[in-house]
Amino acid sequence: MSELLFLVVGYLAGSIPFGLLLTRAAGLGDVRSIGSGNIGATNVLRTGNKKIAGLTLLCDALKGYLPVLAATAFGGEVAMLAAGFGALAGHIFPVWLKFKGGKGVATGLGVLFAWNWIIGLIFIAGWIGTFRITRISSASALTAVLVAVPASYVLQQAGYSMLPAWPFLALAAIIWATHHANIRRLLRGEEPKSSFSKKP
């Protein structure tokens, strides 16, 4: 029963559209009307407001982290997995926005940190390393979440992770699926580069 409860809690937390709420509160309009039409931090950055983009990133990560943290404290392993996947589903398919949400990178990062903070750090290192080479946000996210999969297996075998590798593989598969359009552009060499030092 607790597994179902935390699945619902995770979904409701994940479905809070912070990117949309924060940009509107800052007087930046509807973030869905610019760029990719996404509610995530990368698209919020296209408004030119780095502070709001950073706050969106933090809030989106926390809505993945906190439900799993609660499930870890009050439920078992299945509950923490349910909370994590629920939060991810809520961000990608928010009921409040007719099930059209974000791509799940920041929320997925929060889930990873709650499942295993070492893997969360590995994700960040993979993202930063890839971005320094490519300057492409989507490629960085795809590489980082992919690197997290073998890392989770190694850590589990070494006794540093209580979870098997399959949840991390499933999370990576979801993130890759939400980036299908980006992957096609990457293969064609048409994916735009990003900059966090100046207004796009």
Q: Where are the domains of the chain?
A: 2-188
What are the Cα distances from residue 51, in Å, to 46, 66, 101, 147?
Answer: 12, 22, 21, 28
Distances (CA, A) of 112 to 44, 50, 62: 22, 24, 11
Inter-residue contact 79 to 49 (CB < 8 Å)? no
- What are the structure tokens assigned to 103, written together? 């791509």
**Residue position matching structure tokens 């990368």:** 42
Give per-residue pLDDT as tens, 99-140: 999 999 999 999 999 999 999 999 999 999 999 999 999 999
Q: Predicted confidence band at 37 (pLDDT cuts at 50, 70, 90)?
A: confident
pTM, 2 dp: 0.92
Greatest Cα pair distance, the chain, in angstroms, is 49
Indicate if the pLDDT at residue 156 is higher than 90.
yes
For residue 20, pLDDT over 70 is answered with: yes
